[in-house]
Structure 1
């Protein structure tokens, strides 16, 4: 594994010298933040990007720079996708399948964080339903469109450390709702989904991986109370100071999106397939207490048996088998 990229690498640096002409990429969540930047750099390097978003008007406005910077045959088309509605997810997937064109990468970027307790259109707890089940159905329905040599990249988070998935009570029917525990469950699910998708598809040359973009100021924190993010950073900095480490610094959006495009087109597939990466590097497994911003992945998020169990539970919940 090359050590040439790290926490401060940007999308442009990661893709420097790489021509993506003729490549086709699906990116979810292109109405803000990481999704827009991911689409921008891919189109600027020649890829045809299909950007999925719930609010197409917002996405069209947010992606004006994507179209402006598209080069070498690159471009952007938008499709409607509401991950909190399986009707919308299935309609989006059906339209892509009917179109029939292959994808060289699918970057499952969209998501919500720390939402108040609620439910999706299908009755699933909001974060698990949106972050995991929506992408689970979408990716599986279009799996045959991912060309041999292609990759599925699930944007997860270090937030997976807050909780393993709870397959007995995924909707908090019997346990008190905690927005961060819920977020942790959904992000662990993103990683486990990549593990099992990778196992199922690698024989035909399609691989899957999960990434953590890092701490970035985007719309993702819109459900946090005033001052909550600042207080969290202050607590982290106390821990870092006690460990003799420098204070936490947010990444820029181009730095945050770098690991996604690195995992999709730069990293050796045998290194990232079925794994979890951050800072453009494959992460080591960590156990025990650790700073929320220290690198590493929990072993339960990469457990093959856990990944299979989540797959089965997810099929049961959405009423489809893949």
Structure 2
């Protein structure tokens, strides 16, 4: 690893002195929050950012700061992408492949959290379909555009600790639906996708990593009742597990720091196929705590291979 960063580091701290001129980056979910800050921080160092969003009008307004701060050749281009529709995902991937420009970094940032039970346009449970399957189809379809030494960064969450994936009932057809169990399954899937993508592509220099940004006030919590959100935060702020620092809500620049650290600054061999938080590798931990560390099932290679096969089956494509 290079310089030491931590929970309070910001994107500007992590990228201080970094020149990304000539680099091209894809970031999904650039209409708010972490996606906008991630795009801003990268474009400010010279990266040419392709920002994907479902609502291009909203994204254009939200990314004014990205265009304002772009420097040293940095720029932003917006493309339409609805991760809850495989037709939209495939159209976006087809357009990117037709253009033929390569990517040095792909950041699967977009997502939904704790939403009411519903389905995507293709009939998948909303959180699993949007957070995992949409990105699974998009990234695999454009994998050929990723340059040697490119990286994939999947935005996961400590919420993966709520649940492992359920490959026998991914759409809650037999299991009672619980918002955070569904969220946990989708976030575990984000980690496992990085594990298997890394295994498949590391030989050509392309690496993948999953990151937990921390607790941040963003639009991600829009489906949660404010009182419920306050209770969750209070639980996390209660006496921390031994050896853990007190919990605090991060700013958006602090939340996006681990993404850019893992995608640009960290040693690729050290983070490839791993899960990171607070700008460092997370340790495998068990127990009931919702704080710190990664569950073993989220890094299990057999689990990752099984999820890959199930995901191919669900979307009707093989990679």
TM-score, normalised on structure 2?
0.98
Structure 2: any 5+ residue segments left out of the alignment?
none
Residues of 1 paired with 2:237 and 2:174: CA distance?
35
CA distance in 1, matches of 2:79, 2:110: 13
Correspondence 1:203 to 2:200: no
2: distance between equivalents of 1:2 and 1:87? 41
- Off by >3 Å, runs of 4+ in structure 1: 242-247
Query: Within the alignment, does 1:320 sit opposite 2:287 as a pair?
Result: no
Aligned to 2:258: 259
Q: Distance in 2 between matches of 1:237 and 1:169?
A: 33
Q: Secondary structure at the match of 1:95?
A: helix
Please name the residue that 2:297 is paired with: 300
The count of aligned residue pairs is 319
Alignment of 1:268-287 (within 5 A): 268-287=267-286
Closer, same or farther: CA 264–246 of 1 in aligned 2, 3 Å: closer
CA distance in 2 between partners of 1:244 and 1:164 (Å): 25
Secondary structure, aligned partner of 1:52: strand
Return the alpha-carbon distance in structure 1 between the equivalents of residues 245 and 11 of structure 2.
24
Q: What's the Cα RMSD here? A: 1.2
Which whole-Å CA distance do the structure 1 matches of 2:167 and 2:253 have between them? 35
Mapping for residues 76-115 of structure 1, pairs under 5 Å: 76-115=76-115
What is the rounded CA distance, in whole Å, between the counterparts of 2:203 and 2:139 in structure 1? 17
CA contact under 8 A between 1:3 and 1:281: conserved in structure 2? no
Q: How does 1:207-246 map to 2 (within 5 A)?
A: 207-240=207-240
Distance across 2 between alignment mates of 1:280 and 1:236: 20
Query: Could you tell me how far apart the structure 1 residues matched to 2:243 and 2:26 are?
Result: 42
Distance 1:146 1:260 in 2: 18
> Quick check: 2:2–2:267 contact (8 Å CA) kept in 1?
no
Q: Deviations over 1:2-49 (max 9, x none)?
A: 461000000001000000000000000000000000000100000000
Looking at structure 2, the residues matched to 22 and 200 of structure 1 have their Cα atoms a distance apart, in angstroms, of: 26
Once the two structures are superposed, residues 135-194 of structure 1 have per-residue CA deviations (whole angstroms, 9 ceiling, x without a partner) of 000000000100001000000000000000000000000010000000000000000000
| 1:309 maps to which of 291, 306, 312 | 306
- What's the offset of the Cα at 1:106? 0.1
Aligned-residue offset at 1:229: 0.8
Q: 1 CA distance for matches of 2:245 and 2:41?
A: 30
- Partner SS for 1:49: strand
Which stretches in structure 1 are left out of the alignment for 5+ residues?
Answer: none
SS in 2 for 1:231: helix
Mapped partners of 1:196, 1:234: distance in 2: 35
Cα distance between partner residues in 1 of 2:133 and 2:63: 26
